[in-house]
Amino acid sequence: MGTDRRDFLIGVGALTASTAFGGRALYAQAKPRVVVIGGGPGGATAAKYLAKDSQGAIEVVLVEPKEAFTTCFHSNLYLGGFKNIADITHRYDALVSSYGIRHIRQWANAVDRDKREVVLADGSRISYDRLVLSPGIDLRYDSVPGWSKAAEEAMPHAWQAGPQTELLKRQLDAVPDGGLVVMIAPPNPFRCPPGPYERVSMMAHALKSSGRKRAKIIVIDPKETFSKQPLFQQGWERHYPGMIEWLGPKGHEGVKSVDPGMMTVTTGLGSYKACALVNVIPAQRAGRIAVEAGLTNASGYCPIHPETMKSVNDPNIAILGDASIAGDMPKSAFSANSQAKVAAMVIRGELTGARTFPARYTNTCWSMITPEDTVKVGGRYEPKLDKITAVETFISKTDESAEYRKSVQAENLGWYAGITADIFS
């Protein structure tokens, strides 16, 4: 063992003794340690509830390079002009000061599953009794011909929030009246199934409300159908007539290439030249660290046990949120938060003997079409038939009153305030 590791481990502050043996046996820990990789809705919620509910009996370490987290959820409201970046950005300070979580501001480079250690970007290692992995998604840059990491500066994805979201907003602001906006939508399975269509709605709202109602948005979609389709399409006709055209696979026969220099998108049925804005939302998979730790299957995501959120490949690792294969649950912040509470309960039970209960999950996804017309879909879920299975679902109906739709938007705003407080404070 090198000095770096010794220094780092002592710095973590939970190690009391050493033995003559290598690996994690070198230092005995005063109390069990859970390392959480990723401070999004999955990881930050798990870290908080592990620390809060164990009241100091578990040492919780959160590995997340950022000092504050900008949420993808409600980033479409930022595009629409209803929120600013500060409204959707949340610091980790309260998790540290209120619950004693240690926040290590580094990338985790690897998981050494045999030794039960996480290798950090600076080369130091930290051992764990249990690992919670919630790294979100990685973008498959090669899924759209001509697009790349470099090209995202011209044709942003904004599917991981932060500078990309701000770039997309600047480009939206630059679209002239009569200009063309192109969105390339992703194939299943992807983060936030209604997200692209809420985004289109918010783009149309921003364009229309700033006097640019002759602008047009074309959505090139590889899917035959999409989430809440009748609700969105009715809303688009009602509020943004002539502004949004959705093309399923038969309407374009596939994206053949994009040219970020020319801002063109070429499909099997023709080319589109955009004014200022091409939003490329590519295919996705679990975050790289999950892939490299051998926790994904051929789908690119991580199979889990529905009773515990634990990896089917490793009983010491729970996988949450977008990186997991969560059965009927969509990849949403609400889902990740719900899954995190189950995983935290199970791990606390194992490490401290605390009582556990059968896993129960919930989700609701609200989508804003206009500030007064919001729709929702959701359900309750339980482990059943070897997966997380919906036991009750609901979805908005096309004939709901304007007054009711307005109340759904109030729910949406209340939900955001509630869930971000639940995750980050």
Ligand X SMILES: Cc1cc2nc3c(=O)[nH]c(=O)nc-3n(C[C@H](O)[C@H](O)[C@H](O)COP(=O)(O)OP(=O)(O)OC[C@H]3O[C@@H](n4cnc5c(N)ncnc54)[C@H](O)[C@@H]3O)c2cc1C
Question: Which residues of this chain interact with ligand X, rule CB under 6 A?
Answer: 37-43, 63-66, 69, 72-73, 75-76, 107-108, 134-136, 159, 191-192, 195, 199, 287, 289, 321-323, 331-334, 336, 365-366
Q: Which is nearer to ligand X, 267 or 324 (CB)?
A: 324
Q: Which is nearer to ligand X, 272 or 366 (CB)?
A: 366
Q: Which is nearer to ligand X, 104 or 218 (CB)?
A: 104
Number of Cβ atoms within 10 Å of the Cβ of 419: 20
Question: Could you tell me the smallest distance in angstroms from the CB atom of residue 253 to ligand X?
Answer: 26
3-state SS class at 292: helix
Distance CA 425, CA 420 (A): 8
Question: Could you tell me the smallest distance in angstroms from the CB atom of residue 19 to ligand X?
Answer: 29
List C-alpha distances in Å: 249 to 140, 266, 268, 345.
20, 14, 10, 43
Fill in the DSSP letter of residue 232: H
Question: Could you tell me the smallest distance in angstroms from the CB atom of residue 192 to ligand X?
Answer: 3
Distance CA 219, CA 260 (A): 17
Number of Cβ atoms within 10 Å of the Cβ of 286: 26
3-state SS class at 386: coil
- The answer to whether 16 and 29 are in contact (CB under 8 A) is yes
List C-alpha distances in Å: 49 to 238, 327, 347, 351, 370.
43, 23, 11, 14, 35
Q: Which is nearer to ligand X, 266 or 366 (CB)?
A: 366
Q: Which is nearer to ligand X, 68 or 391 (CB)?
A: 68
* Greatest pairwise CA separation for the chain in angstroms: 74
Q: Which is nearer to ligand X, 362 or 389 (CB)?
A: 362
Sign of CA dihedral 145, 252, 226, 223: negative
Q: Which is nearer to ligand X, 65 or 176 (CB)?
A: 65
Question: Could you tell me the smallest distance in angstroms from the CB atom of residue 103 to ligand X?
Answer: 11
Question: Could you tell me the smallest distance in angstroms from the CB atom of residue 296 to ligand X?
Answer: 14
Q: Which is nearer to ligand X, 228 or 267 (CB)?
A: 228
Question: Could you tell me the smallest distance in angstroms from the CB atom of residue 318 to ligand X?
Answer: 12
The HSE-up count of residue 84 (CA atoms within 13 Å, CB side) is 1
Distance CA 177, CA 251 (A): 25
Q: Which is nearer to ligand X, 265 or 333 (CB)?
A: 333
Residue 125: which of 63, 49, 187, 67 has the closest Cα?
63
Question: Could you tell me the smallest distance in angstroms from the CB atom of residue 280 to ligand X?
Answer: 13
Question: Could you tell me the smallest distance in angstroms from the CB atom of residue 42 to ligand X?
Answer: 3
Element (H, E) at 231: helix 229-239
- The answer to whether 323 and 311 are in contact (CB under 8 A) is no
Question: Could you tell me the smallest distance in angstroms from the CB atom of residue 46 to ligand X?
Answer: 9
